[in-house]
Amino acid sequence: MAFSLVTFLTSVENLLVKNNTTGGTYFIGDGLFSKVLSFHKGANGMSEKSLFSNQYPAIFVELVRKEENFSNMGNTGKRNLTIEVDIVPITEYGAGIGETGTSAKELAHLQCIRLTDNIEYLLRNKTNLSQTAIGVSYSRITDTRYLDNTRDSFFNCNSRIRLEVDIKNTA
């Protein structure tokens, strides 16, 4: 069967969903006010879509780039792929001050940093994304960026974890 990018994105999303429970080996919601409430996947820029406030924290899995290498193909018809995806966790809090006197903006930022750390920890310990059946030989985080998306009276923070994935000998 030919390699499917949709199946690949779904597999990465499933890895995150499976580890969004306290019973999982790596609980990505550890230290957050709430576990992740919504997951989404698509092409680069998908995370810019609006969500309802009851869908945060949220995680988007976005396809950024696919590179194919046919140099080792020979007569087998197989190729090696390098795929880049962004995993974009987003937290949001309404206006106001938390019980500890911390502003909603600061809470959103601190929760985003915590969620990002948890996802990175999962990805560093599952470099072959082993809970998936897609033939990943290796994956690595190449960089992480943080962004404040404050709008109106809502404080929104997201990060962008760039994950590079090598897949060998796909049809």
Sheet with 136-148, side-by-side order of all strands: 38-43, 58-69, 79-93, 155-170, 136-148
Cα distance between residue 30 and residue 33, in whole Å: 9
The reported pLDDT for the residue numbered 166 is 87
- pLDDT, average across residues 10-17: 91
Which helix or strand (DSSP H or E) is residue 123 part of? helix 104-125
pLDDT band (50, 70, 90) for residue 129:
confident
Q: What is the CATH classification number for the domain harbouring 27?
A: 3.30.70.1700
Cα distance between residue 23 and residue 77, in whole Å: 42
The reported pLDDT for the residue numbered 61 is 96
Q: Which range marks the domain in which residue 37 is found?
A: 5-170
Residue 24 or residue 99, greater confidence: 24
Encode pLDDT of 30-78 as tens digits: 999 889 999 999 999 888 888 888 899 999 999 999 988 766 555 566 7
* 162 burial via Cβ count (<10 Å: 0-12, 13-18, 19+): middle
Encode pLDDT of 73-113 as tens digits: 555 667 788 999 999 999 987 665 556 666 778 888 899 99
Per the structure, the count of domains in the chain is 1
Does 131 score more than 60 pLDDT? Answer: no
Cα distance between residue 153 and residue 151, in whole Å: 6
pTM: 0.87
Give the pairing of strands 58-69 and 38-43. parallel
Cα distance between residue 119 and residue 32, in whole Å: 12
Average pLDDT over all residues of the chain: 83
The reported pLDDT for the residue numbered 137 is 76
